Amino acid sequence: MSTAVACATAHPNVALAKYWGKVLAPTNLPAVPSLSMTLDSLSTTTSVGFGPGLDSDRVVINGRSATDAEARRVSSLLDQVRVAAGLRTRAWVETANDFPTGSGLASSASGFAALALAATKAAGLEWDSARVSDLARQASASAARSIFGGFVTLMAGSADTTFLAAEPLNGTDDWQVAISVVITTFQPKEVGSTQGMAHTRATSPYYDAWVEHAPSLFERARVAVLARDLDELGTVAEESAFAMHACAMGSAPPLVYFSPVTLAVIEKVRSMRRSGVPAYATMDAGPQVKVLSSAANAAQVASTLREVHGVEKVIVARPGAAASVKLVGQST
Ligand code: PMV
């Protein structure tokens, strides 16, 4: 029986072609393909040890005990690891983000990527990245992408899919681009993405149109990354973000993730573009804005966005590394 302690680090990612909506199946499969960039300057670090003597999984997030809902999501991933490794012992999990949790900054992506990697390693499973990505995907689909560095794709699932991992777009992570992460609030978001997607699917008259349209946005984004075409990637990233949010806003009752500061940041991005600085906005299930630009323009873009009234903080990120893990000791 393994009593190793493993410590993993993973970076969040920002989808430039969005996933929004799940296949009706129990294993958390995205209904549309997505493409993301892993962010180097934000990270989650997670340690896991399967400890003899624990009567339940102990989960600590940013120094506090996990809520019941959070702990259940962690335990269900750990249960899969226990089954695969033939372990019966409970685990302790300690995880911390160096950025705000649960406010649309993709903490579930880096969180479940780091958890999947640390838990499989601590359990003695020698899984390759694709298998770890498939495991992470079952907890949070965007987490599948955070296993890999640079630009990463995740295909859509279908009702009979039994394995679905993200894949890196090889040879693209040295592209000199940046994403400025514009934090408009430190408050946690009100409607999480899983709940938001289910609500959109059930009530938005635009949901089917979104599912039909998203693959062509994904394909344009993929071709743009391979061609290192920033203007096309930025253009399609904005189309994808606004199509996703339009679909969510069409739900009943409407699902609106934007705040007045979100809109002010979007307007500033447009005015930068009009003045000749190529910058493009994308928003996830929260009020933060992520702004794509060349690496050379990133400092200017970030300082312009810091001037927008209501902006709390801007963090510049470049394409980040794949998630990594090491064994750090023995559980007692
Ligand atoms: O990974 P989830 O299930 O938390 O959903 C992520 C959804 C978006 O961030 C809005 C889009 C995406 O593709 O990351």
What H or E segment, with its residue span, contains residue 144? helix 141-146
Mean pLDDT along residues 152-177: 94
Query: Residues 207-231: pLDDT tens digits?
Result: 999 999 999 999 999 999 999 999 9
The backbone region for 104, taken as left when phi is positive above 0, alpha when psi lies in -120 to 50, beta otherwise, is left
Query: What is the per-residue pLDDT for 26?
Result: 85
Query: Residues 118-149: pLDDT tens digits?
Result: 999 999 999 999 999 999 999 999 999 999 99
**Does position 102 have pLDDT exceeding 60, yes or no?**
no
Probe ligand 1: pick from 13, 37, 103, 193, max atoms within 8 Å of CB? 193
Mean pLDDT along residues 163-169: 97
Average pLDDT, the chain: 94
pTM: 0.96
Query: What is the per-residue pLDDT for 330?
Result: 73
Distance CA 103, CA 3 (A): 34
Ligand 1 atom 10: residue of nearest CA: 284
**Does position 331 have pLDDT exceeding 60, yes or no?**
no
Q: Does any ligand 1 atom lie closer than 6 A to the CB of residue 146?
A: no
**Does position 2 have pLDDT exceeding 60, yes or no?**
no
Query: What is the per-residue pLDDT for 106?
Result: 64
Q: Does any ligand 1 atom lie closer than 6 A to the CB of residue 173?
A: no
Q: Does any ligand 1 atom lie closer than 6 A to the CB of residue 140?
A: yes
**Does position 65 have pLDDT exceeding 90, yes or no?**
yes
Query: What is the per-residue pLDDT for 99?
Result: 80
Beta strands at 64-65 and 279-282: parallel, antiparallel or unpaired:
unpaired
CB atoms within 10 A of CB 258: 16
**Does position 108 have pLDDT exceeding 70, yes or no?**
yes
Mean pLDDT along residues 152-175: 94
Report whether the peptide linkage leading into residue 253 is cis, meaning its omega lies within 30 degrees of zero.
yes
In this structure, are residues 96 and 131 in contact, taking their beta carbons and an 8 Å threshold? no
Query: What is the per-residue pLDDT for 329?
Result: 79
Quote the longest CA-to-CA distance of the chain: 63
The number of the ligand 1 atom at minimal distance from the alpha carbon of 192 is: 4
**2-16, 34-48, 111-125, 300-314: least confident range:** 2-16
Place of tokens 């990354």: 225
**84-93, 165-174, 196-205: least confident range:** 165-174
**Does position 332 have pLDDT exceeding 60, yes or no?**
no
| Residue in 282, 157, 302, 307 with CA at minimum distance from that of residue 217 | 282
The number of the ligand 1 atom at minimal distance from the alpha carbon of 284 is: 10
Ligand 1 atom 9: residue of nearest CA: 284
In this structure, are residues 13 and 154 in contact, taking their beta carbons and an 8 Å threshold? no
Query: Residues 89-100: pLDDT tens digits?
Result: 999 999 999 986
Probe ligand 1: pick from 37, 142, 257, max atoms within 8 Å of CB? 142
Percent of the chain whose pLDDT exceeds 90: 89
Query: Residues 12-22: pLDDT tens digits?
Result: 999 999 999 99
Place of tokens 């190793």: 4
